[in-house]
C-alpha cells in the first residue's frame, strides 16, 4: 500500500481567525479528505480546528502535532494527536512531516512554519486575500535563495488541486 500524502494546513490560531478564514480552512480540510490525503495541522484552534473539522466531516484522517506534552490541548477533530512537548519548535516537525503546505493568513507562528517548510523545500500554496503571513509571500520567495516559490490561489479547491499537482509532478 502506498503512503498517503500528508498536507499541512497552517494559518491564524484563535487570535486573528475570522469566520471567513474558518470557512476557507473548513473547505480546505474537506477537499483534502476527498482527495484521500491526510490532513496535518498544529492541532490547536483557529485555522487548525476549522481544517480538522472539515476533514473530519468528510470522513478524512486528521493528525494534530501540538506543542504541549498533554494531548488534551488538541482540538476535538484530531483523530491522531502527537503531543510533541517541543513548544514552538514543533513548527519544524509539522513542516518536515508534510508533503505540501497550504497557508491561510497567519501571524508569527505561521511565518515560523512557512520558514521551516521553505528551508526544507516543501511545496507551498497560499490563499489570496487572507492577509497575514500568507499574503506577504504569495507568488514569490521568502528570501534570495529562492528555495520554493509560494504559489497564490483563489479558493480552497484550487489550493488542494495545485498542491497535489506540485507534489505529484
**CATH number of residue 25's parent domain:** 3.40.50.450
Largest interatomic CA distance in the chain:
41
Choose between 136 and 36: higher pLDDT: 36
Please tell me the predicted confidence (pLDDT) of residue 1.
73
Distance from C-alpha of 55 to C-alpha of 41, rounded to nearest angstrom? 11
Residue 130 forms part of a structural domain:
yes
- Confirm whether 65 is domain-assigned: yes
Residue 1 is assigned to a structural domain of this protein: no
* pLDDT level of residue 103 (50, 70, 90 thresholds): very high
The H or E element containing residue 82 is: strand 80-83
Cell numbers for 39:
490532513
User: Roughly how many angstroms between the first and final C-alpha of the chain, as a whole number?
Assistant: 20
Is residue 64 classed exposed, middle or buried when 0-12, 13-18 and 19+ CB atoms within 10 A define those classes?
Answer: buried
pLDDT tier at 150, thresholds 50, 70, 90: very high
On whether residue 64 sits in a domain, the answer given is yes
Report the distance separating Cα 61 and Cα 76, nearest Å.
13
Q: What is the mean pLDDT of residues 129-149?
A: 94
Question: Is 78 a member of any domain?
Answer: yes
Which pLDDT does position 134 carry in this prediction? 83
Mean pLDDT of 93-114: 96
In a domain, 16, yes or no: yes
**Predicted confidence (pLDDT) per residue in 15-44, tens digit:** 889 999 999 999 999 999 999 999 999 999
Q: What's the pLDDT band for 2 if we cut at 50, 70, 90?
A: confident
- How many domains are there within the chain? 1
Supply the range of the domain harboring residue 64.
6-163
Cell numbers that stand for 3 in this block? 503512503
C-alpha cell at 25: 480552512
Amino acid at each position: 500500500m502506498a503512503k498517503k500524502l500528508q498536507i499541512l494546513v497552517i494559518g491564524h490560531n484563535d487570535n486573528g481567525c475570522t469566520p471567513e478564514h474558518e470557512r476557507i480552512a473548513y473547505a480546505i480540510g474537506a477537499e483534502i479528505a476527498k482527495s484521500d490525503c491526510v490532513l496535518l495541522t498544529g492541532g490547536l484552534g483557529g485555522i487548525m480546528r476549522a481544517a480538522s473539522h472539515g476533514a473530519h466531516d468528510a470522513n478524512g484522517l486528521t493528525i494534530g502535532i501540538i506543542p504541549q506534552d498533554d494531548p488534551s490541548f488538541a482540538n476535538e477533530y484530531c483523530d491522531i494527536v502527537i503531543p510533541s512537548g517541543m513548544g514552538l519548535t514543533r513548527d519544524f516537525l509539522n513542516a518536515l512531516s508534510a508533503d505540501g503546505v497550504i497557508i491561510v493568513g497567519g501571524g508569527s507562528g505561521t511565518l515560523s512554519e512557512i520558514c521551516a517548510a521553505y528551508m526544507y523545500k516543501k511545496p507551498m500554496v497560499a490563499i489570496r486575500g487572507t492577509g497575514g503571513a500568507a499574503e506577504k509571500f504569495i507568488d514569490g520567495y521568502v528570501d534570495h535563495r529562492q528555495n520554493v516559490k509560494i504559489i497564490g490561489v483563489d479558493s480552497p479547491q484550487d489550493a488542494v488541486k495545485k498542491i497535489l499537482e506540485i507534489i505529484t509532478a
